[in-house]
Copies of this chain bind each other. A is one copy, B any other.
Amino acid sequence: MSVTAAQGFEAAGTAAGLKSTGAKDVAVVVNRGPLKAGAAVFTSNRAKANPILWSQQAVSDGVVEAVVLNSGGANCFTGSFGFQTSHQTAERAAELLGVSAGDVLICSTGLIGTGDEQFRARVLDGTAQGVASLSADGGDDAAAAIMTTDTVPKTAVRQADGWTIGGMAKGAGMLAPGLATMLVVITTDAVLDAAQLDAHLRAATRVSFDRLDSDGCMSTNDQVTLLASGASGVVPDETAFRDALVDLCRELSAKLQDDAEGASHAITIEVRGAASEDDAVEVGRSVARNNLFKAAIFGNDANWGRVLAAIGTTDAEFDPYDVDVSMNGVRVCTKGGPDRPREEVDLTPRATHVLIDLRTGDAEATILTNDLTHDYVHENSAYSS
């Protein structure tokens, strides 16, 4: 059910010719209210695509009527023409929906540099088609339309005490060329205002999408949007809502990791015993971004020396010679020295668990990543040529 699981939302996914395969490539999500509250978080890359520049302005007043998303072109580094394309797309949707263009968010994903006249014409047509085919059952079509190299659509739903949260996601995990982008739209029928949505969304993405670090490359187009219709009439318990949102975001993150392009392992890096959560995140991320470690996991090699070499580059508080490392339940390193033989670790399953105990404090964090494979190199060297 995706983004239409919650009451008050309609969605559609249509094929506008942006994908050469003829698959669906434009999604529209509309909030029918009564509330029209929205919040979004964006890529922190300073090189932001045109739809990001547009949406940052549009969401700033906390009112969001609709989101138009396209695959088949990132509309990034396409200059002022590209910005006008995002603007015109919002205007086209707004006109057809009878709302203000400033309340329509735009998301794009696909090859960087794509955003010519033909692209614009197809996005505008797709937007019109999408608005014409909006439906309270359109969530799955929308989830399909935002797919790029994804092999399956990713959706998740949580329900509690009269309210519902539903979401769709694409991308991330083993980022492909210009297809690197993670796009997420989450909807709820709970009664929450824009400031509440913003706080919940930032808290949830911080411990979910922000900790999915497949290849360390940051997209120009990442956007995660949360919309509230208030259609359930229920004011949720704030803690229960946040917990459900965190849970849903983690489910979507795991689905992105599982479908990571070219990956043969989905690696969960759990860091314990840190002096602070920031330290735990820094340590986990240093391992997630270490090509030598990632190549070793691809080779089913429980190479804990590369874990220690990676975390030794951080500023986190710990003694490299007082760190324990386990892989898939086998303690291969105790206090910075060898423990069980690495051959005892079975790395043939796709799901891989690396546990790092810094033995310094009580904080912890988990980072999700993937291995570095031949297929990753192939996909990312061959795609755009």
Contact = CB atoms under 8 A, between A and B. Distances in A.
A298 B177 CA distance: 13
A309 B219 contact: yes
Nearest to A214: B291
Contacts of A289: 216
B47 A311 contact: yes
A319 to B, nearest CB: 9
A235 interface: no
A376 interface: yes
Interface string A108-145: 00011100000000000000000000000000000000
A333 interface: yes
A33 B330 CA distance: 52
A218 B313 contact: yes
Contacts of A384: 296, 301, 303
A355 interface: no
Given A46-B313, A217-B291, A313-B45, A305 B381 contact: no
A313 B308 CA distance: 25
A292 B333 contact: no
Given A313-B218, A320-B46, A337-B78, A291 B380 contact: yes
Interface string A139-182: 00000000000000000000000000000000000010110100
B377 A373 contact: yes
A53 to B, nearest CB: 10
Contact of A309 (B47, B78, B291, B312): B47
A291 B216 contact: yes
Interface string A276-307: 00000000000001111001101111010110
A111 B177 CA distance: 33
A45 to B, nearest CB: 4
A337 B77 contact: yes
B292 A217 contact: yes
A71 interface: no
A385 B300 contact: yes
Contacts of A313: 44-46, 218
A374 interface: yes
A116 to B, nearest CB: 10
A305 B113 contact: yes
A378 interface: yes
Interface in A349-385: 372-374, 376-378, 380-382, 384-385
A236 interface: no
A301 B336 contact: no
A381 B220 CA distance: 30
A329 interface: no
Interface of A: 44-48, 76-79, 111-113, 175, 177-178, 180, 215-220, 289-292, 295-296, 298-301, 303, 305-306, 308-314, 320, 333, 336-338, 372-374, 376-378, 380-382, 384-385
20 contacts: A45-B313, A47-B308, A48-B312, A77-B337, A79-B336, A79-B337, A111-B305, A112-B306, A217-B292, A217-B306, A217-B310, A218-B313, A219-B309, A220-B305, A295-B380, A296-B381, A301-B384, A301-B385, A372-B377, A372-B381
The 4 closest A-B pairs by CB, nearest first: A299-B381, A47-B312, A112-B305, A295-B380
Given A220-B309, A374-B377, 5 more contacts: A112-B306, A218-B309, A295-B377, A299-B382, A374-B374
